[in-house]
C-alpha cells in the first residue's frame, strides 16, 4: 500500500513539473512578434578647428653621447619655438625617443665607420588652425627635420552627432514606411534600436626633412577641408 502511495505521489509531482514547463514555454512564443528591420544613415559635414601633428628631430654623430647632446639641444629649441608660437605646454607630448647605431657601407660593400642616430618626436595639439602653416615654418627653422601625419579634428562634435542621429532615425522610419506600404502591412511599435557613430579624423601626409636656413621661406599651405560625421541606426518595427 505504501509503494502504491509513493508511486501516485511521484506521478503527481511529475505532472506538476510538466505543467510548469508548459506554462514557461507558451509566453516565449508571444515574445517573437513579426518585425521589419531597417537601417538609416545620417551625415553632417563639419569644418575642422584643431589638428594633431608629429614633429621630430633626427641627429647623427660618431659617438652616442654627441648624437644625444645635439638632439637634446635641437629638440629643446623646437619646444621653445612651439611655446613661443602659442602652443601650451600641456599640448606638447614626447611620443618617441630612440637611439641606434648605423653602419654605412661603401660602393665596394665594405662597412664604413659606424655612426649613432637619435630621434626625438613630440606630439603637438594645435588649437588654432589659422597659425598652423606658420607654426610648421617655425618648427623647421628651429631644427625639426621630421614632420608627419597632420590629423584634423573637431573639438566638440556633440551637436553634429545629435543631428546625424536624428537624420539617421528619420531615414530609417521613411524606409520602413515605404517597405510596409509595398508589402501591404501596417507598422506597429518599435521593438529595438541600435546605432553606430563614425567620426573619422582627417589625415594629411606632411613630411619635412632638413632645417636651418634652407627652410626660411617654406610658407606651408594648409587646407583642412571638411570632416564627415556619420550615424547609422537599425530599427525593428512590429508588423501588425
The CATH class for the domain spanning 48-103+112-154+202-223 reads alpha beta
| Letter string b/e over residues 34-52, b meaning 16 or more CB atoms within 10 A of that residue's CB | eebebbbebbbebebbbbb
3-state secondary structure of 119: strand
* Distance from C-alpha of 18 to C-alpha of 109, rounded to nearest angstrom: 86
How many CB atoms neighbour CB 109 within 10 A? Answer: 6
Q: Quick check: pTM over 0.85?
A: no
Least confident of 18-32, 119-133, 144-158: 18-32
Locate all alpha helices (DSSP H) within the chain, ordered by sequence: 2-30, 64-84, 132-141, 158-183
Predicted confidence (pLDDT) per residue in 11-27, tens digit = 444 444 444 443 333 34
Predicted confidence (pLDDT) per residue in 28-85, tens digit = 444 557 899 999 999 999 999 999 999 999 999 999 999 999 999 999 999 999 999 9
* Distance from C-alpha of 133 to C-alpha of 221, rounded to nearest angstrom: 6
Helices 132-141 and 64-84, packing angle to 10 deg: 150
Amino acid at each position: 500500500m505504501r509503494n502504491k502511495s509513493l508511486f501516485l505521489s511521484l506521478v503527481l509531482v511529475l505532472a506538476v513539473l510538466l505543467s510548469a514547463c508548459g506554462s514557461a514555454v507558451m509566453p516565449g512564443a508571444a515574445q517573437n512578434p513579426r518585425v521589419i528591420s531597417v537601417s538609416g544613415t545620417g551625415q553632417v559635414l563639419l569644418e575642422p578647428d584643431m589638428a594633431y601633428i608629429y614633429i621630430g628631430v633626427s641627429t647623427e654623430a660618431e659617438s652616442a653621447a654627441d648624437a644625444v647632446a645635439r638632439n637634446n639641444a635641437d629638440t629643446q629649441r623646437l619646444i621653445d619655438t612651439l611655446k613661443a608660437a602659442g602652443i601650451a605646454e600641456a599640448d606638447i607630448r614626447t611620443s618617441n625617443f630612440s637611439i641606434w647605431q648605423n653602419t654605412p657601407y661603401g660602393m665596394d660593400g665594405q662597412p664604413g665607420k659606424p655612426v649613432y642616430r637619435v630621434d626625438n618626436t613630440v606630439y603637438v595639439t594645435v588649437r588654432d588652425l589659422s597659425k598652423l602653416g606658420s607654426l610648421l615654418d617655425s618648427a623647421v627653422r628651429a631644427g625639426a627635420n621630421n614632420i608627419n601625419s597632420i590629423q584634423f579634428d573637431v573639438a566638440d562634435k556633440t551637436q553634429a552627432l545629435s543631428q546625424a542621429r536624428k537624420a539617421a532615425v528619420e531615414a530609417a522610419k521613411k524606409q520602413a514606411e515605404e517597405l510596409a506600404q509595398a508589402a501591404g502591412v501596417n507598422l506597429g511599435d518599435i521593438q529595438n534600436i541600435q546605432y553606430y557613430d563614425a567620426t573619422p579624423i582627417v589625415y594629411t601626409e606632411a613630411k619635412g626633412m632638413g632645417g636651418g636656413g634652407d627652410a626660411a621661406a617654406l610658407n606651408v599651405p594648409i587646407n583642412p577641408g571638411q570632416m564627415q560625421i556619420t550615424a547609422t541606426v537599425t530599427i525593428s518595427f512590429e508588423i501588425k
